[in-house]
Amino acid sequence: MARTARRLAKTDSDIHKGLIRIVETTAQAIHGESLRNAPKGETAGLRTGYQIDERRLKRDLQASVFNDTFYTPYQEFGTGSLVSVPPGFEAMAMQFKGAGIKEVNITPQPHFAPAIERNEPRHIKAIEKLIDKHTDR
Domain ranges of the chain: 11-124
Least confident of 3-17, 30-44, 83-97: 3-17
Least confident of 4-8, 57-61, 121-125: 4-8
- Please report the sign of the dihedral spanned by the C-alpha atoms of residue 72, residue 75, residue 81, residue 87: negative
pTM: 0.85
How confident is the model over 58-107, as pLDDT tens digits?
999 999 999 999 999 999 999 988 999 999 999 999 988 876 667 688 99
Least confident of 7-16, 18-27, 38-47, 63-72: 7-16
Comparing C-alpha atoms, which of 83, 66, 71 is closest to residue 39?
71
Average pLDDT, the chain: 89
- Is residue 136 pLDDT above 80, yes or no? no
